[in-house]
Structure 1
Amino acid sequence: MRVLVPDRPEFREVRVENTELSFYSREQAPPENAEGLVLWFASPELRRELLGRPGLRWVLTLTAGIEHVAGDLPPGVTLYNAHRLHDRAVAVHTAAGMLAAARALHRFRDAGREGRWATTMDLGTLDGKRVVIWGYGHIGRLLEELLTPFGARVTGIRSRTPEAERDAALSEADWVVLLLPSTPETKGLVNAEVLARLKPGAWISNQGRGNLIDTGALLDGLNSGHLGGAVLDVTDPEPLPEGHPLWAQENVIITPHIASTTADLVARGAEYTRAFLSEMAAGREPEGRVEAGQAY
C-alpha cells in the first residue's frame, strides 16, 4: 500500500509493515499516485491536486473539521478525520479561557500594561454557573469532565436538539460554549435573535468555527452591555484584521485559532498516522470514518 504523507521529520520516522510512504511538502508532491492520503500542512491548491489523484481510495485528514476536504472529495473515496488528536487540547483551552475570564485575568493584564495596581475587578468563579455546550460531542464531554470539579452545571445540546429545549437552555446559561462545525445550517446560527435570548451578563465562548456567530450582532451585544464578554479562538473574519472592533473590546479574549495546538502536536500526529496505517495494513477499519452527511 502506497500512502502520501506530509514531509516532516516526525513522519519520516513512521514505519508500517507492507506500507510505502511518499512525502509531499506544502506546495509540492511526488508524481506517483497512491491508494491513501494523509492530509496535513498542504496548501489549498496542492490539497485539491492530491485529492484528484487517480486510484485514491481513502483520505485521513489530521484535523477534526472536514469542511476543507469534503467539497473536493471524489465519489467513492472514504474520508477519515482525527478528532481524537485534538479533542483534549481544545477542551483544556476552552476551560482555561473560561477560568481566565471568571477571574478577570485579561482585565488585570490590561491594567498592568497601563502601570495600574488594580484590585477592584469584578471577580468570580465557575461554581454554580450554568454552562451550555452547543455541539456536545467528543470535546464537549471532555470539557464537562474538566468543568465539573469547578462546580459548573453543564447542559449539552446538539444541532438536532428540539428548538424549545435549546432555547430554554440558552435562556438560563451563564456561559454558552460553541463547538459546532461550519456547515450551511450552522453559519450565522448565533445571531441577534439568539443573543437576545441570553440572560444579561452571559458569556460566549467559541472554539468551533468563526462563522457560527454573526460578528455584528456579537459586537452589538457587547457594546450594549447585554453580554458579559466573549472568549474567541475563532472569528469571522479570520484572521481578524488589525483595527477590527473586536480587538478593542475590554471583555473579549482572543486567541488565533490555536485551541488544538500543543508543542508535541506534529509528533502526536505522526504517531496517530502510524497507528491508523497499522490498522489499515492489518485489514481492520480505523476509527474516525466520516459517514455521508456527517459534518464533524
Structure 2
Amino acid sequence: MTNILFAAGPELWADYETPLRRALDATGLDYTLGCDAAPETVDYIVYAPGSKLQDFAPYTRLKAVMNLWAGVEKITGNPTLTAPLTRMVDDEGLTQGMVEYVTGHVLRHHLGMDAHIVNPEHAWEPNVPPLSRERPVTVLGLGALGQACAGMLAHLGFPVTGWSRTEKQVERVTCFHGDDGLSRALADAQIVVLLLPDTPATRNLLDADRLARLPWGAVIVNPGRGPLIDDDALLAALDAGQIAHATLDTFRTEPLPADHPFWAHPKVTVTPHIASETRVDSAARVIAANIRRGEDGEPLLHLVDRDAGY
C-alpha cells in the first residue's frame, strides 16, 4: 500500500481530491490518499508552498515531496527535508497558460495597443508598428516555460534570443549563457521576458547596470518572479525613459501593497499573478505518473537541484 499525504491545504483538497484519485486509479496503484496520516506511514507528500507542514523530520518513510507549483524557493532551504523534492514542470495547462500570457503581452507592446485602447483625446495617430521580424525579443530563462514561450515568439517571426544559467540549445532561438552571455542577450532586446526562478543567483538580475544596457525605450514583461528585478532601479529607469513600460505579474510582496509605487506609475501594468496557474486535472496526472515511477523504481521526473534552487 502506497500512502500519500495531501499537505497543500484544505482549500486545495476540495479541488484536487477527485482529480488526484482519478489519476491515481488510472495508474493501477494500491494507495491511500488523504489530508491526515501518521507521519511514519507516509510515502509521498503532495505539497504547496503555503502548507502548514514545515517539519519533515517525523516522516521517516518519506520517498518524495511533490510540489504543486513550479516555484520551490520557499521549501528548498528547509533543513528537515532530506527526501527528493519535485516541482511542477510538465503540466500542459501551466505551460499553455504561460505561453498565452507572454505572447499576448509581447504582441500588445509590439503593436502599441495601449495607445489605441486608452485614447481619451481621440487622437488620430496612425503609428504603424514594425513587423515582428524587426522587433528583437529576449527571454531570460530557458526552462520548460521559457523554451515554450521562446518557441512561440519565434514562430510568430520575432528574432528571439534566450539566456540561461547553463548552456541550452533551442530551435530557432539564439542562446547565450553565463555572465558574458547575459550582456549579449540584453544588448539588442527591445522586449525582455523574465522566466527565471527566484534563487540567490537570480535576485536583482535586472539591476540599474543591466537595465542601462538595454536599448533605449525597451519594454519588460515579468511573469517569472518579483525579486528578479530591482524595484527601485526599475522605477528610476521608467522615470528616465530608459524603459518605456513594464508589465509585471509577480512581486516581492504579494498581494502587491496598495501604496506600492507600481500601482500608480503610468508606465507600469500590474497583473495579479495570473500569468499561469497549475491546472488541477493536468497537474493531478503529472503527480500520479511521478508516484507511479517512484513505486516502479524509476527515476523521478522534475527533481529539484537544491544547490541551484530549482
TM-score (norm 1): 0.86
d(CA) in 1 for partners of 2:186 and 2:162? 11
TM-score (norm 2): 0.82
d(CA) in 1 for partners of 2:132 and 2:269? 17
SS in 2 for 1:241: coil
Q: Does 1:43 align with 2:45?
A: no
Aligned counterpart, 1:270? 284
The CA deviation string for residues 14-68 of structure 1, in whole angstroms up to 9 with x for no partner, is: 42434423322xxxx344540111113x634x23146753322211112212112
Runs (5+) with no aligned partner, structure 2:
167-176
Match of 2:70 among 61, 64, 70: 64
Seen in structure 2, the aligned counterparts of structure 1 residues 218 and 64 have a Cα distance that, compared at 3 Å, is same
Q: Does 1:279 align with 2:293?
A: yes
d(CA) in 1 for partners of 2:263 and 2:31? 48
Seen in structure 2, the aligned counterparts of structure 1 residues 150 and 54 have a Cα distance that, compared at 3 Å, is same
Matches within 5 A, 1:99-248: 99-111=107-119, 117-120=122-125, 122=127, 124=129, 126-160=132-166, 161-248=177-264
Contact 1:134 1:157 in 2 (8 A): yes
**What is the RMSD computed on CA atoms of the aligned residues?**
2.4
Contact 1:51 1:72 in 2 (8 A): no
d(CA) in 2 for partners of 1:51 and 1:108? 57
- What is the one-letter code of the residue matched to 1:193? D
Counting aligned pairs with the same residue, the percent is 28
d(CA) in 1 for partners of 2:283 and 2:155? 30
After the TM superposition, which of the residue ranges 125-134 and 137-146 deviates more from structure 2?
125-134
SS in 1 for 2:149: helix
The count of aligned residue pairs is 285
d(CA) in 1 for partners of 2:114 and 2:270? 10
After the TM superposition, which of the residue ranges 95-104 and 247-256 deviates more from structure 2?
247-256
Seen in structure 2, the aligned counterparts of structure 1 residues 51 and 118 have a Cα distance that, compared at 3 Å, is farther
d(CA) in 1 for partners of 2:127 and 2:62? 57
Runs (5+) with no aligned partner, structure 1:
none
d(CA) in 1 for partners of 2:103 and 2:136? 14
Deviation (angstroms), 1:122: 4.8
- What is the one-letter code of the residue matched to 1:120? E
